[in-house]
Amino acid sequence: MLFLLGIYIVQEARVLLADIVVSEKVLNFGVLTRKMTKSLTVAVKNTSTSPFLGGVSIEKKWISASVKDLSLASEMESEITLTVDPSELIPGDYEAPVFFNDLMGSERAKVNVKFTVIEGKDEPILKIREDMVDFNEVERTVQPLGSFFLENIGSGILKGEVEFPDWIHGDTRFELHFTQNRPLYIRAYTSDFSPGEYTAEIKVTTNGGNKNLPVAIRIKPKADDPILAVEPKSVDFGTVNKGKKGRIKIKVVNKGKGRLSGTIAYPEWIEAEEEFKEVEKNREFLMVADTSRLPMGATKDVVKFTTTNSGMFDLPVKIFVKSKR
């Protein structure tokens, strides 16, 4: 039995170690416009006395192969078609490897694909100079101005539309002739924000490609804004018998100025007041945990505090329910 197993292992090793060669070391697709796809063929041959089992591995999405899996008997040759699609590439030179790997993922052969992308006669290409727009930190209600540059690095006329998050305003349509660029100015409206960090995306859709541009802003309270705090910062009802109720007091604290108002959302097993109004310093709440609504053992959840102008706070809560006996 061990002898047969040894033969099987040796045979498996021979499959993995089979030698293959590719007819081309470099596959040059030449000069392409972005609207033009092109296919070329390479021959892959197993030059060893053992069969080869493996596959084709490609890292770039603009290269595709006619097959994924590759099976070659000894001395067998197979033609594989490689296709490049430069439709989303900007003009320039490109090169990337295509790997022929065995079943263990080890490289046994490769061919380098290369080509050059050029502009067509009427082929606009969108470019946004910035990687993101950051409004940095501003006080609530301030309306900061930002911008980003749109470019047509192709040919023809680039026509596009811009979709903004609801708190950003700016021009929603644009046209750019070839080699033209322009800034697009945007303004953030922060009156409805609570203090905190906010991120979103600006979506640019054109006849020369689409881009999503991340945006970020950090809101701090105004000098006369209330600031929400909750004491304690977490709640533990401890161990409570099934059918009994756990009780604990918390405080909503205004660490800023003005008056603090908001709402509180509880898990279904906690009962308490659901809003607070005009808190100048602090207000105490009694929270009651109903164990009849809980399974045996530990339960963890959060109580959510939401204010009209001072942000949000999640209060972790936990309880352990045990049998009466």
Q: Model confidence over 219-259: pLDDT tens digits? A: 888 888 888 889 999 999 999 999 899 999 999 988 888 88
In this prediction, residues 286-293 reach a mean pLDDT of 94
Q: Please tell me the predicted confidence (pLDDT) of residue 146.
A: 96
Cα–Cα distances in angstroms (integers) from residue 203 to residues 153, 168, 211, in the given order: 19, 12, 6
Calculate what percentage of the chain has a pLDDT beyond 70: 94
Residue 140 CB contacts under 8 Å (≥ 6 apart), including other chains: 190, 191, 193, 194, 195, 219, 220, 221, 222, 225, 309
Average pLDDT over residues 99-125: 90
State the SS3 of 186-216. Answer: EEECCCCCCCEEEEEEEEEEEECEEEEEEEE
Q: Name the average pLDDT for the chain.
A: 89
Q: What DSSP line would sit under 251-289, residue for residue?
A: EEEE-SSS-EEEEEE--TTEE---EEEEESSEEEEEEEE
159 bridge partner residues: 175
State whether residue 305 is helix, strand or coil: strand
User: HSE-up of 105 (CA within 13 Å, CB side)?
Assistant: 0
pLDDT-based confidence at residue 13 (cuts at 50, 70, 90): very low
Which residues lie closer than 8 Å to 240 by C-beta, 6 or more apart?
Answer: 246, 289, 291, 319, 320, 321, 322
Q: Domains along the chain?
A: 20-118 (2.60.40.10), 126-220 (2.60.40.10), 228-322 (2.60.40.10)
Paired tokens of 62: 């603009």
Rounded Cα gap, residues 289 and 58, in angstroms: 57
185 pLDDT exceeds 70? yes
Q: Which structure tokens are listed for 9? A: 């292992």
Question: Mind listing the pLDDT tens digit for each residue in 65-96?
Answer: 999 999 999 999 999 999 999 988 888 999 99
Confidence of residue 17 (pLDDT cuts 50, 70, 90): low
* C-alpha 183, offset from chain centre: 26
pTM of the model: 0.55
Measured from the Cβ of residue 204, the count of other Cβ atoms closer than 10 Å reads: 20
Burial class (CB in 10 A: 0-12, 13-18, 19+), 221: buried
CA nearest to 152, candidates 211, 85, 93, 212 = 211
